[in-house]
Structure 1
Amino acid sequence: MTEKNIYVPEVIAGRILVIRGHKVLLGNDLSELYGVEHRVLMQAVKRNLKRFPSDFMFQITREEWENLKSQFVTSRWGGIRKMPFAFTEQGVAMLSSVLNSDQAIQVNIQIMRAFTKLRHLVLDNEELRNEIESLRKETEGKFRVLFETLDHLLAEDAKPKKKIGFTAKEKEAGYGS
């Protein structure tokens, strides 16, 4: 990843994962975005552990890790000894108070924008879903009447029709003899 791409919210949004129902960034990705070694990032977090309650940061389980790795054809993570930490949006915001480099500040701003953009996408999808549901409810009654009328007409066509006009009723045996 080039220095130029680091600050694009879409690139950051692509790294946001959903784990345990939370949108998170893994510590590995954050250290790369911030331009610091992962070890340095985690040391800063451990020195300020009181700032990171479980709803800001949590360590993922081996099962979650295996599930994450299986979602990628080629893993971008090498072998690891410890399971990575996942940082929620609030945890990333708290990192800005722990890391004070210019790059960390700029990246943090872009990460917040990426989280906001994702939130807007979810809301937009929810609005679209509500509009479709409203349209369905609004048109359902109108189409129900149309389909009931069509069913009624088709049911009438299925009944045998009464023949109109003259029909000759002659006995077969007496005819032509």
Structure 2
Amino acid sequence: MSQLKNVIIPEELIVSKIYLIRGQKVMIDRDLSEMYGVETRVLNQAIKRNAKRFPPDFMFQLTVQELSDWKSQNVISNKEKMGLRKLPKVFTEQGVAMLSSVLNSETAIAVNIRIIRTFTRIRQMLTDHTDLRLEVEQIKKKLDHQDKNMEAVFQYLDELLVRKEAPEPDRKSIGYQFGSGKS
């Protein structure tokens, strides 16, 4: 258990290794193996031995086009590209969680806990931002409604000003008049 305390992976490093591929937040096998302190081939061997634990929504292999897109988006150097002899496997949050049962070492457990907490924090931040966005939309709708009301008020005030500036027509007085002499 003492090893769990010694594993320190900065959250920023984990976040920088989470990519959006096929509309999912994923981590690449070589990044995970580096964090776990094992070779990528060792990680992949463990996955192969436990293939039933990794359905397609937990792990999938990149296509040639996805790998090319990923390399260009992340400006991978030639040295780093050399290490990619095979199409990498990528793991969703659930796949990363499953890795802890496949790589049953203290380091793997500690790293997985850190990664899962980071995924959770990212999800919470997205939820918070969604709530904030909804509140902003509600405020915009209210302001839009108020703008329309203000336009109506100003239009009414303009009409009143136009009426006030126009000469009043002679009005026939109504009611009882004193001293008219008629009875």
Same fold (TM over 0.5): yes
DSSP 3-state at the match of 1:83: coil
Deviations 1:11-33 (A, max 9, x none): 21221111111110000100001
DSSP 3-state at the match of 1:65: helix
**Distance across 1 between alignment mates of 2:66 and 2:159:** 57
Change (3 A) 1:74 1:56: closer
Opposite residue 113 of structure 1, the aligned amino acid is R
Which residue of structure 2 aligns with residue 141 of structure 1? 145
Unaligned 5+ runs, structure 1: 163-177
Q: C-alpha displacement at 1:36, in angstroms?
A: 0.4
Which residue of structure 2 aligns with residue 122 of structure 1? 126
Q: How many residue pairs were aligned? A: 158
Which residue of structure 1 aligns with residue 75 of structure 2? 73
Q: C-alpha displacement at 1:77, in angstroms?
A: 2.9
Query: Please, what is the CA RMSD of the aligned residues?
Result: 2.5
**Distance across 1 between alignment mates of 2:73 and 2:156:** 52
Which residue of structure 1 aligns with residue 24 of structure 2? 22
DSSP 3-state at the match of 1:78: helix
Deviations 1:123-173 (A, max 9, x none): 01100111001111222211112234446777999xxx98xxxxxxxxxxx
Determine whether 1:105 maps to 2:132.
no
Unaligned 5+ runs, structure 2: 1-5, 167-183
Change (3 A) 1:144 1:48: same
DSSP 3-state at the match of 2:126: helix
The answer to which structure has the higher helix fraction is: 2
CA contact (8 A) 1:26 1:86 kept: yes
**Identical residues among aligned pairs (%):** 49
Which residue of structure 2 aligns with residue 32 of structure 1? 34
Opposite residue 15 of structure 2, the aligned amino acid is A
